[in-house]
Structure 1
Amino acid sequence: MDSKFVNACRKVGSFVWTGVKRNYDNLDDNIAKHLGENNDETVEIHLSKMFSEVFKRHTQDEADKLFIVGTKTTTPSLKKVSSRPVKPWFFSRIFLVLAISFSMLMLLLYLFKSDKAIPGMIFIGSLAVPFSLLMMFFEINVYQNISILQLLTTFLVGGIMSLLVTMTLYLALPIKTSVSIENALLVGFVEEVAKALVIILFINRYRVNYIFNGVLIGAAIGAGFSVFESSGYVSEYGLFTIFTRSFQAFGTHTIWAAIVGGAVILGKTRKKPFTIVNFFTNPRFDVFLLLVIALHTFWDWDIPNSTMWVSLGQELIDVVIGWFTITILIDAGLREVKTLQGQIITNKKASRRIIKRLKSN
């Protein structure tokens, strides 16, 4: 009886997986269509292609060009912005440098018994994954209209500010030390709303209007939040915490805040600030915010009587959903570029027609 049940489960699993394989490549694009502005062109995103440049050789000049952006003279016009599939690569070099630095600090601590390496391990360990992800989103911002100075300011000031807002909200709400579903939901709500408020503040301050801009600003604030929170956890629970927190950062605050940042752009009127009315009434924003709160809740929830494998399964599900949502926003961002560039062409054609009519009259 057990073997029949197992075989039946395998058949069902195989059937489901076949359907997923057939439809995944178009699923994110179909969802992104409903977020865009009436652009029916297909935008293909394949993760294997997206990261295809990571293992290729790149020159120093290519790396330098990535950072000379965001100024009046280096921000390209909209018609020159690329709508081709994004292929970030430099973030992997940053991660490699930080990983090597962390390894050398470990040698100082464990080989030479130097306790002076501990602060460096805490900082570099907390920084490695979130900051590398942040640089990935910096590369993905095809508009190149946010400078490295703005990015670092947002990362530091925005990250700390989001922690301050979080602690302020914690004072007003009855947070307990238990890991029940109710408490996990409360923590997820407080932290994600706090980050969302700071993201909205920075997006309005910088007056940005594109999905990729929102994703980048959100990622910067989420990365800052992650770095400072992880450092605090190490001081509270010990140095080993840095290893688990570093790997977990791949699918937590940086990704969640990037999703909210993209949602803020989707939820506001173009070239106008995001308002309190948008916060409570725009479904494009609210759905993504609720999704992020749900992801945070599910991540923090300690299911009663569960094993370590169940907890790892929770984290894996969270990471998959989070990154799938990121691909949807990237897809929607590329669609946005094509739509805006199409509007420029349409407007030019309309202007030419008007001029011809005026001349003929």
Structure 2
Amino acid sequence: MKSSLQNLHRNIFSLVWTGVRRNYDNLDDNIAKHLGETDANHPVGIHLSRMFSEVFKRHSRDEADRLFIVGTKSTTPSLQKVSSRPVTPWFFSRVFLVLAVSFVMLMALLFVFKSNKVIPGLIFIGSLTVPLSLLMMFFEINVYQNISIRQTMVIFLVGGILSLIVTMTFYMILPIRTEISIESALIVGIVEELAKCVVIILFINSYKANYIFNGVLIGACIGAGFSVFESSGYVSEYGLATIFTRSFQAIGTHTIWAAIIGGAVILGKARKKPFTAKDFVTKPKFYVFLLIAICLHTFWDWDIPDTGIGVSLFQEFIDIVIGWFLIFVMIDAGLREVKTLQGQQIIIHRSKRKKLVNKR
């Protein structure tokens, strides 16, 4: 009787898991196909194992160098040469490894050799490790290769600091309460995500970015800069132990939320035109993702009353899962966009060719 019940439980679990897996495999594509103008009969597959399949393979120095030779007039490929194959970033993992090893070495200097002089370096590298690694991943994912590493670093530094300035300006205007409550968490979420959104729009308009992958990269740059400077600042307020928690928590916070907003800005504006104040309130493809990012930030900051660390960690886990799912939706939509634009260009090219033939 006991063995038959166990078999029944296994069969039920297997059935449920199979259904969940199949639906999840298609869910990001089902959402993404409604964000663009692509044919729903041509899905774009996003699979974690395939996306990160290059991480554990050997790559030469020349391969790494080629990743950075992009974004100039001579190195930006034409639209027809842009790859629409599933993205497979790998260099970001090397960046993470170097920074993580550096962080461990600095910890050894602090705790083994008792050298307090390494504390500033420990704070900086700890704050930088995850955001910069994520930033490099989005840099690799930008298949259009139309934003250089120099531009990326400028957006990261200037955009990150500027978003903090806008945030503090909003805080001066709005009455922010310091007590722990859902209302306070909501206000913080609104203020910080709106501040990053304003700066993201500013850079997207100034760079004349028109593609989803461009918006995601610009957003990630600004979110990563915001995350690095904010985490460094928290150490002075809450002590050195803060860096050990915020360093790994950064995998699901500002960089991801800002990347989602950056992609949403591109979805919300007319192609080859700047994002306007009217787009801010009239384009559901934009403000729905902005509202989701605000909700993710609010849920992350909200300390549910009468709960312990377990509930807080579970909140963060849910937040990270939802945030990364939306990133995969943006990647899916970005690849669909490539196929759509390439298809449109082919059609235009053929029509011009027919006109030329008729003239002859």
TM over 0.5, shorter chain: yes
Change (3 A) 1:189 1:11: farther
Q: Matched residues in 1 for 2:159 and 2:101: separation?
A: 27
Return the alpha-carbon distance in structure 1 between the equivalents of residues 104 and 206 of structure 2: 39
Q: Is 2:229 the counterpart of 1:249?
A: no
**For residues 154-184 of structure 1, what are the alpha-carbon distances to aligned partners after superposition, in whole Å with 9 as ceiling and x for unaligned?**
0000000000000000111111111201110
Find the aligned partners of 1:200 and 1:14 in 2 and give their Cα distance: 46
C-alpha distance in 2, partners of 1:13/1:249? 33
Pairing 1:295–2:296 present: yes
In the alignment, which residue of structure 1 is the partner of 2:36? 36
Give structure 2 stretches of 5+ with no counterpart. Answer: 1-7
Contact 2:200 2:222 in 1 (8 A): yes
Identity %, equivalent residues? 73
SS in 1 for 2:116: coil
- Residue 4 of structure 1 is matched in structure 2 by none
Superposed displacement of residue 152, structure 1: 0.3
Q: How far apart are the structure 2 equivalents of 1:61 and 1:39?
A: 37
- Tell me the alpha carbon deviations over residues 81-111 of structure 1, each in whole angstroms, 9 at most, x when there is no partner: 0000000000000000001111111111111
Q: Which residue of 2 aligns with 1:3?
A: none
- Partner residue of 2:131? 130
| Counterpart residue number, 2:64 | 63
| CA–CA separation in structure 1 for the residues paired with 2:15 and 2:182 | 32
Match of 1:22 in 2: 22
Q: Report the CA distance shift for 1:9/1:256 in structure 2 as closer, same or farther (over 3 A).
A: farther
After TM superposition, the structure 1 = structure 2 runs for residues 121-270 of structure 1, keeping only pairs within 5 Å, are 121-270=122-271
Name the counterpart of 2:359: 358
Deviation, structure 1 residue 42 = 1.1
User: Which structure 2 residues correspond to residues 313-324 of structure 1 after superposition, within 5 A?
Assistant: 313-324=314-325
CA distance in 1, matches of 2:295, 2:90: 31
CA distance in 1: counterparts of 2:60 and 2:12, whole angstroms:
49
The AA in structure 2 aligned to 1:54 is: V
1:349 paired to 2:350: yes
Shift of 1:283: 0.5
> Which AA in structure 1 matches 2:27?
L
The residue number in structure 1 matching 2:282 is 281
Secondary structure in structure 1 of the residue aligned to 2:38: coil
User: What code does the residue aligned with 1:25 have?
Assistant: D
Q: Is 2:313 aligned against 1:312?
A: yes
Write the letter of the residue equivalent to 2:20.
V
AA paired with 2:231? S
Shift, 1:14, TM fit: 6.8
Query: What secondary structure sits across from 1:143 in the alignment?
Result: coil
Instruction: Report SS of the residue matched to 1:28.
Output: helix
Q: Secondary structure at the match of 2:203?
A: helix
Q: Which residue of 2 aligns with 1:5?
A: none
Counterpart contact for 2:203–2:218, Cα < 8 Å: yes
Encode CA deviations 1:192-214: one digit per residue, 9 max, x unaligned.
00000000000001001000000
The alpha carbon displacement at 1:22 in A equals 1.5
1:10: how far off? Answer: 10
Between the aligned partners of 1:209 and 1:137, the Cα distance in structure 2 is: 16
User: CA separation of 1:16/1:310 partners in 2, compared to 1, >3 Å: closer, same or farther?
Assistant: farther
Aligned residue pair count: 352
- Comparing 210-219 and 104-113, the one that deviates more: 104-113
- Amino acid in structure 1 at the alignment position of 2:155: T
1:13, distance to aligned residue in structure 2 (A) = 7.4
Give the 3 Å change call, closer, same or farther, for CA 300–282 of structure 1 in structure 2. Answer: same
- Aligned pairs for 1:330-345 (under 5 A) are 330-345=331-346
Asked if the contact 2:189–2:298 (Cα under 8 Å) also holds between the matched residues in 1, the reply is: yes
Q: Does residue 72 in structure 1 map to residue 112 in structure 2? A: no
Which segments of structure 1 move beyond 3 Å, counting only runs of 4 or more? 8-18
Q: Where do 1:98-109 residues align within 5 Å?
A: 98-109=99-110
Task: Write the letter of the residue equivalent to 1:272.
Answer: K
Looking at structure 2, the residues matched to 312 and 295 of structure 1 have their Cα atoms a distance apart, in angstroms, of 14
Alignment-mate amino acid for residue 152 of structure 1: M
Distance 1:19 1:256 in 2: 29
Please give the alpha-carbon distance, in whole angstroms, between the structure 2 residues aligned to 1:10 and 1:275: 54
The 3 A distance-change label for structure 1 pair 81 and 299 is same
CA contact (8 A) 2:92 2:136 kept: yes
Equivalent residue letter for 2:34: H
Supply the AA of the counterpart residue of 1:32. Answer: A
Cα displacement string for residues 23-51 of structure 1 (whole angstroms, at most 9, x for unaligned residues): 11111011100011133311001011100
Distance 2:239 2:295 in 1: 28
After superposition, the C-alpha distances for 1:214-254 in whole angstroms (9 at most, x for unaligned) are: 00000000000000000000111011100100111000000
**Deviation of 1:307 (Å):** 1.6
CA distance in 2 between counterparts of 1:227 and 1:10 reads 45
**What amino acid sits opposite 1:98 in the alignment?**
L
Once residues 349 and 153 of structure 1 are traced to their aligned partners in structure 2, the CA distance between those partners, rounded to angstroms, is: 40
